[in-house]
Amino acid sequence: MASRTASAFHSETSPAELGELAAAFKALSNPNRLAMYLELLRHRERSVKTCALQDLMDLLDVGAPTVSHHIKELVNAGLIEVEREGKFIRCRLSEPSRQQLARLFGSRGEPK
């Protein structure tokens, strides 16, 4: 049954979307970036929607340059969006990418 689901997803997915998914998986293959993405997903489920750079630094126990690099990779993969508020940076999930990943994994990505 799982292969039928994967096959159905593949037949409904354009080559461009497959490329986007591959880029997302490449970005998420790094444990720090995966942890950051999951933290943003948790924030979304709590209706907070965004997460500050300092929150991510505290989560990973790394410095700003490292977190900034990971943020850049997640942005380049289309997984997150960044907004500046003065000297502060806030991150949030890219909703189209989140929905695409949720479809791939067979859920709506909604909290239970």
| Within a domain: 109 | no
The pLDDT value recorded for residue 68 is 93
| Within a domain: 46 | yes
Domain count, the chain: 1
Average pLDDT of span 50-55? 85
| Within a domain: 9 | yes
The whole-angstrom distance between residue 52's C-alpha and the CA centroid of its chain comes to 15
Name the strand (E) or helix (H) holding 89: strand 88-93
Residues in CB range of 24: below 8 A, 6 or more apart: 77, 78, 79, 97, 100, 101
| Within a domain: 111 | no
| Within a domain: 112 | no
Considering the chain, what is the average pLDDT of its residues? 84
Which pTM value belongs to this model?
0.80
| Within a domain: 51 | yes
Domain containing residue 87: CATH number:
1.10.10.10
Range of 75's domain? 2-104
